[in-house]
Structure 1
Amino acid sequence: MTDSPDNSAQKASAAYRLPALDQEFLLGDSMRGVRFLLEYAKAEERLRDWGVRSTIVVFGSARAGPDPAASPLGANGARWYEEARRFGMIASQRGGALLHNGGLRDNVIATGGGPGVMEAANRGAGDAGAPSIGFNITLPHEQDPNAYSTPELTFRFHYFAMRKMHLAMRANGLVVFPGGFGTMDELFEMLTLRQTGKAPRIPIVLVDRAYWTKVVNFDALADAGMVRREDLSIFGFADDAEAVWASLVERGLPLPGP
């Protein structure tokens, strides 16, 4: 009886690996579409398992913090942090995140998952005993998830586009605290979706009128004919957590039944 030919080289070949277990293949250019789908499907499946039907998305600076001395934004940063935390608690208590709808959660706080205002809103939801979502993004200088989003609802994305899709697709409302480029990117993405009719007519509230009217001259855009005057009614302003909640409700935020 002769020995069988040695086929160890074939079995060790990358070509022989099951595609689902071949990381080099999965991370190659040809599989970009598959990776995009995976980022959609993983978060979608987990959010459905938790009964998350709708969210309130909160954006704002990652540089804000509870301690004025430790934050580069000083007293303003501490004030925005505290109001975002209060809003996260108010929205979670009143909006339906605590399972008032037979197992479906509405108006669950969703953030970008990082520090600052995002951390504060997640923290406020936790103060109310409600779950909250963190849609984190992989960056060259690593952004760790904050410690207050629900661990089972803390996601990590490579693609900004898929992260933005998940932030937008369940949003019942949008609250935007002062922030920089990233915050403005997310804000104007949502304003464009509303303006063009590609997203439902969700209420949008900008927190701290003095800040926003200083850094963005919305009236000048309308005066120059770049947007219609009525486009400026897509959003409103508020200066504290209770006023944010009142503005969302006044602008049509869907609320749970009795």
Structure 2
Amino acid sequence: MPDNAAQLASPSYRLAALDQDFLLSDPMRGVRFLLEYAKAEEALRTWGVRSTIVVFGSARVGEHGPGRQADWYATARAFGRLASERGGALGAMGPRDNVIATGGGPGIMEAANRGAFEAGAPSVGFNITLPHEQSPNPYATPELSFRFHYFAMRKMHLAMRANALVVFPGGFGTFDELFEILTLRQTDKAPPIPIVLVDESYWRAVLNFDALAEHGMIAAKDLELFQFAEDAEGVWTALLAGGVKPGGCIELQGAPTT
């Protein structure tokens, strides 16, 4: 009588949840997409993260970098601490609001997470797998440091709890995230959250927003979707004026959520 060794060794006999070859196959792409949503969602709920303040900016900015880099890093760090202390991220007895959330990597992201860390508050790092591997910075809360394969799911998690967006100088990746949120706001696919660009001289030098309106590529009122600030206090003041509530969610105006 033959034994059943071949059946036991067959990939088809593996439990589906433990079969990595199956889970990483092309037909399971949708399942992997769902898993990336569910894993981060469960952790954020466990930590009581109800809302966030998303901070974008270059991974190339150093604490002791040349030119204005050191100032940008210091401002992001100061803002991460200020927002965490005043916004409601420290509330251990209830939902945490205005928790700092970044892309999880170095540079501006590190600075913002570092400020939250120094305030004793949790912060989120939404990392992404890249060809040149991105390592998580050491200041995001370990239990809230995630890694995504899909940019789309990472962007969804960045947007869906955001009370505000603060954008520091950056390059292509920063532009991508900025225009993602601007487009959601322009099309009313996201709540009317405040968007603040730090260092007006930088943004005016690299992007001619006014020219877009002059050429009819955007409406003049679209220029009101964002504003500028120069330091941590200025950013916080702009966020409060834009509807951010310390210790609570933003005051929405009936717009659909992401």
Give the TM bin, normalised by the shorter chain: over 0.9
The aligned amino acid for 2:209 is F
Identify the residue that residue 38 of structure 2 maps to in structure 1. 41
Seq. identity, % = 73
Letter in 1 for 2:103: G
Q: Specify the alignment match of 1:235 in structure 2.
A: 226
Q: 1:143 aligns with which of 134, 152, 156?
A: 134
- TM-score (norm: length of structure 1): 0.95
Q: Tell me the residue number matched to 1:85.
A: 77
Name 1:221's counterpart in structure 2. Answer: 212
Partner of 2:95: 104
Instruction: Tell me, in whole angstroms, the C-alpha distance in 2 between the residues paired with 1:67 and 1:213.
Output: 24
2:60 aligned residue (60, 63, 69): 63
Equivalent pairs, count: 248
Whether 1:126 aligns to 2:117 is: yes
User: How many Å separate the matches in 2 of 1:166 and 1:250?
Assistant: 25
Q: Does 1:75 align with 2:67?
A: yes
d(CA) in 1 for partners of 2:202, 2:159: 24
2:256 is matched with none
Match of 1:202 in 2: 193
Normalised to the residue count of structure 2, the TM-score between the two structures is 0.95
Which structure has the larger Rg over C-alpha atoms?
Answer: 1
After superposing on structure 2, the runs of 4+ consecutive aligned residues of structure 1 that deviate more than 3 Å are none
Task: Give the Cα–Cα distance (whole angstroms) in 2 for the partners of residues 184 and 66 of structure 1.
Answer: 21
Amino acid of the residue matched to residue 161 of structure 1?
Answer: A
List alignment gaps of at least 5 residues for structure 2.
249-258
Stretches of structure 1 that go unaligned for 5 or more consecutive residues are: 69-73
Within 1, Cα distance between the matches of 2:138 and 2:67? Answer: 23
What is aligned with 1:113? 104
Tell me whether 247-256 or 228-237 shows the greater mean CA deviation.
247-256
Amino acid in structure 2 at the alignment position of 1:209? E
Give the partner amino acid of 1:170. R
Residues in 1 aligned to 2:232 and 2:60: alpha-carbon distance in whole angstroms: 19
